[in-house]
Amino acid sequence: MKKKSIAILPGDGVGPEVIKQAIKVLDAISDFADIEFDYQYGDIGGKALDRHNTPLPKETLQLCTSCDAVLLGAIGDPKWDSGPADKRPERGLLGLRKELGLFANLRPARVFSALENASTLKKEIISGVDILIVRELTGGLYFGTPAEDQGDKAYNTMVYTQKEVDRIADIAFAAAAMRRQKLTSVDKANVLLVSQLWRRRVKQISQTHPNITMNHMYVDNCAMQLVRNPGQFDVILTGNLFGDILSDEASMLTGSLGMLPSASLGESRALYEPVHGSAPDIAGQNKANPIAMIASVAMMFRYSFKMKNCATRIENAINRVLTEGLRTVDIADSNTTAVSTEQMGTAIAEKCL
């Protein structure tokens, strides 16, 4: 029997609720594929601040480096919002991404045909949309130095090295090669020097991929094109900040932020988490949509465990429950009674058996 150890970091808000549904699905897959999972729980974010006075305890980091993959629920707790910068829950996640070297963040936004009416956009605009956002995750404005709050003045620095651009571009071109051979690189090269370097490098690298149609797009235009004509996009390659913003925007094409999974990959480590945050307003109410979390588990099977059959099984299970009409409140319309987090999780897990 195969064995896999998974670091489980439920985190804050709705994190623990959606993680619980992910475990149901993993248990079902364990039966189906004859794999044994060793779940190792750790604290991060607000939970870790409560218990260890740091958003990323050493034990958690150790746990994550010793396991085959990391599953994370969500981060963020309003209780800690007004504290000093190093005592914010988000620091835990940013620290973990940096420490594990998770530079490549893959965020697929695919419109399920059963949910074509769930988006705020017209059906004919979003029908068939299938976009992969490749977001650089350990550089750019999030990590650039110098960065300081001096009280009456504060600044961050957006910085990318050629090496950082090249390695994320390589990932994006490789992804495009496996998809529809189209890549849009998003920057702000009409204003920012860092984007001019970004554009130069991407252009250079595109020459080694003659089969992939590449275009450059300014980020403001991309934000507009995503709602005007999202069908034009296949792979979107972009930096850390722009990717953060555009992926939330892209989620609305699919009906809800509760639908978007993600994989954060490094040379030797990987972390899987939903794109949504901790949603403190609905935490503990059994209302959150667990699909983003469960689809992140599918990505773990695909990218970390190279078990495509398990990934597809989970994705098919999600598709089937949606086709049967099951909806959590975020994707329900006025004619549908919404199911709870637990009900959605159980229904998907049963279809994975």
Q: Which is nearer to Mg ion, 6 or 265 (CB)?
A: 265
75: contact with ligand IPM by CB under 6 A: yes
Smallest gap from Cβ 257 to ligand IPM, in A, equals: 10
Q: By C-alpha distance, which of 351, 281, 278 is closest to 13?
A: 278
CA distance 266 to 273: 14
Helix (H) or strand (E) holding 47: helix 45-52
CA distance 150 to 25: 48
Which of 93, 96, 114, 311 is close enough to bind ligand IPM by CB under 6 A?
93
Annotated catalytic, 220?
yes
**Radius of gyration (C-alpha) of the chain in whole angstroms:** 20
Annotated catalytic, 87?
no
Which of 116, 164, 234, 244 is close enough to bind ligand IPM by CB under 6 A?
244
Q: Is the four-CA dihedral 255, 76, 301, 310 of positive or negative sign?
A: negative
Q: Which is nearer to ligand IPM, 246 or 348 (CB)?
A: 246
Which tokens go with 32? 């189906």
Smallest gap from Cβ 137 to ligand IPM, in A, equals: 7
Helix pair 341-352, 308-323: axis angle to 10 deg:
130
CA distance 292 to 2: 26
Q: Which is nearer to Mg ion, 254 or 346 (CB)?
A: 254
Instruction: Work out what residue 116 binds among ligand IPM, Mg ion, none; the CB cut-off runs from 5 to 8 Å by kind.
Output: none
Instruction: Work out what residue 90 binds among ligand IPM, Mg ion, none; the CB cut-off runs from 5 to 8 Å by kind.
Output: ligand IPM
330: contact with Mg ion by CB under 5 A: no
CA distance 178 to 170: 13
293: contact with ligand IPM by CB under 6 A: no
How many residues in the shown chain lie near ligand IPM by CB under 6 A? 8
Residue 14 CB neighbours (<10 A): 30
Residues 247-286 that bind ligand IPM (CB under 6 A): 275, 277
Which of 43, 77, 244, 315 is close enough to bind Mg ion by CB under 5 A?
244
Q: By C-alpha distance, which of 6, 186, 9 is closest to 95?
A: 9
Binding footprint of Mg ion on the chain (CB under 5 A): 244
Instruction: Please give the positions annotated as active site.
Output: 142, 188, 220, 244, 248
